[in-house]
Amino acid sequence: MKIQSSVDVDAAPEKVFAVFSDLDVFAAEVPGITKVEILAGPVQMQAGTKWRETRIMFGKEATEEMWVTAIEQDASYVVEAESHGTHYRSEYLFTPVGSSTRVQMTFEGRPLTFGASVGSLLMVFFAGATKKALLKDMLELKRVCEAA
């Protein structure tokens, strides 16, 4: 499964990156996220930052551990996770567009086990809802960037 989405934010890349990579902002401003617990590294993401995130997905509470595997200041970062036999990878790119910033997100899930492979067939039915939820998160962070 691969999902892509983007938003244009009326703010400079440095500001947008700072908001989109601040775990305290996630916890405070993204309604779908109910709790963020830092496990390693700083709240402002760096390579190796690891956290446990609890959110509401498909009407149920889910908790996952995530970690930053790559980051380029003001330009991009990659977050990965493994859950229920699937490896997840989210990449965020921050591109200047005039006086604004385009944030492009790519979310991928790759099954690691037979059970996850079978389950991934069913994920096709949830791809639209997942994309909608991820876009909603991005729009909340956009609101924070543009309000300050």
Query: What CATH number is attached to the domain comprising 20?
Result: 3.30.530.20
- Rg from Cα positions in the chain: 15
Q: How many domains are contained in the chain?
A: 1
In this structure, are residues 4 and 106 in contact, taking their beta carbons and an 8 Å threshold? yes
Instruction: State the residue range of the domain holding 35.
Output: 2-147
- pTM, rounded to two decimals: 0.87
Q: List pLDDT tens digits, range 46-86.
A: 999 999 999 887 788 889 999 999 999 999 999 999 887 78
Mapped onto helix, strand or coil, the DSSP state of residue 116 is helix
Q: List pLDDT tens digits, range 20-38.
A: 999 999 889 998 899 999 9
